[in-house]
Amino acid sequence: MRKLLKILRYKRHIIDPILLTVLFVIGGIVLIGLTLQDSANFWYSFHLMFVFGFAIIAGNHRLFSHNSWPAPSWFKKYISLLSTFALHGPVVAWVAVHRQHHHHSDTDKDPHSPIYKGRLWVQFMSYNYTPDLRYVLDLYKDKWLRGLFDYYWVINATLFFVLFYINPLYIGIWLGGSFLAQMNAFAVNSLAHNSPWWIFPTSERITKDASRNVPLLALIDGGEGWHLNHHRAPWKWYFGEKWWQFDLTGVQIFATLLVVNPSYLLDLYRKRKQNVSTN
Ligand SMILES: [Zn+2]
Ligand SMILES: [Zn+2]
């Protein structure tokens, strides 16, 4: 087993992109097939998309990539396991790619720049890059996250067999939910940078990169469409800057903090009150 893991780890930069892309394509085909069979199946996958979306956006992105909100370690374990099931790649690999994106936005070193790679490639082939693990040395030291990286395929194969044993239909719903969540995530990469005129009709240029706020995208992808705001202030867990820029994931993070770390919110409230009274 150890020897197998060693080989798997060595070849991961080849295995992961191929398997993830294949599963993404299978997920799309299975979702169409199951929906034609019974439209209720689509809605099951649609609901699962929100669960996986929360794990990816609130977890992989805002928590692990940017450390923007303080979750207790048990919650980090829970949300990283959930994101493992979402089939977007291991947390550390996801974060490595995303941090590289922020470091080199819209240059030839950006792993998913629509300017250099093309919008269609970014939307459908986003797994075809090798994560540079130098960006995640902090996370790779974490035993739990390293375990999720090493045993990524073992964990998902286990889920596959468990679902198969309970009801094979659940495998289709799982892959369908993962496909929808990935389409959403890739849409941010492909449409919120260098956005075409039909999705972003003005030529607002505030950051040095080509990130844009795309209101329609923000509505359907849990607030990630406020992408220009995010590139301007990646340390914030709420992406809306104006009152009308609603950020669903920001609200979900707030609700989560109320349960898992209320003292942080209380501190935030006290500091804000103090600032108001001193001004
Ligand atoms: Zn970006
Ligand atoms: Zn980011």
pLDDT tens sequence across 9-49: 667 778 888 889 899 999 999 999 999 999 999 999 999 99
The mean per-residue pLDDT over the stretch 66-91 comes to 96
CA dist., res. 230 & res. 217, Å (int) = 14
Fill in the amino acid letter for 205: R
Residue 143 confidence class, pLDDT cut points 50, 70, 90: very high
Ligand nearest to the CA of 101: 1
Angle between helices 169-191 and 12-37 (to 10 degrees): 110
Ligand 1 centre distance from Cα of residue 255 (Å): 25
- The number of beta carbons lying within 10 Å of the beta carbon of residue 140 is 15
Closest ligand to C-alpha of residue 230 is 2
The C-alpha atoms of residue 162 and residue 168 are separated, in whole angstroms, by: 9
Listed by start position, the domains of the chain span 2-250
CA 107 to chain centre: 21
Contact between residue 249 and residue 57 where contact means Cβ atoms under 8 Å apart = yes
What's the 62 CA to ligand 2 centre distance in angstroms? 7
- Rg for the chain (alpha carbons), in Å? 19
Which tens digits make up the pLDDT trace of 217-271? 899 899 999 999 999 999 999 999 999 999 999 999 999 999 999 999 999 889 8
**Rounded-to-integer distance, Cα 23 and Cα 128, Å:** 13
**Spacing, Cα 65 to ligand 1 middle (Å):** 12
Q: Which of 174, 245, 252 is closest to 215 using CA atoms? A: 245
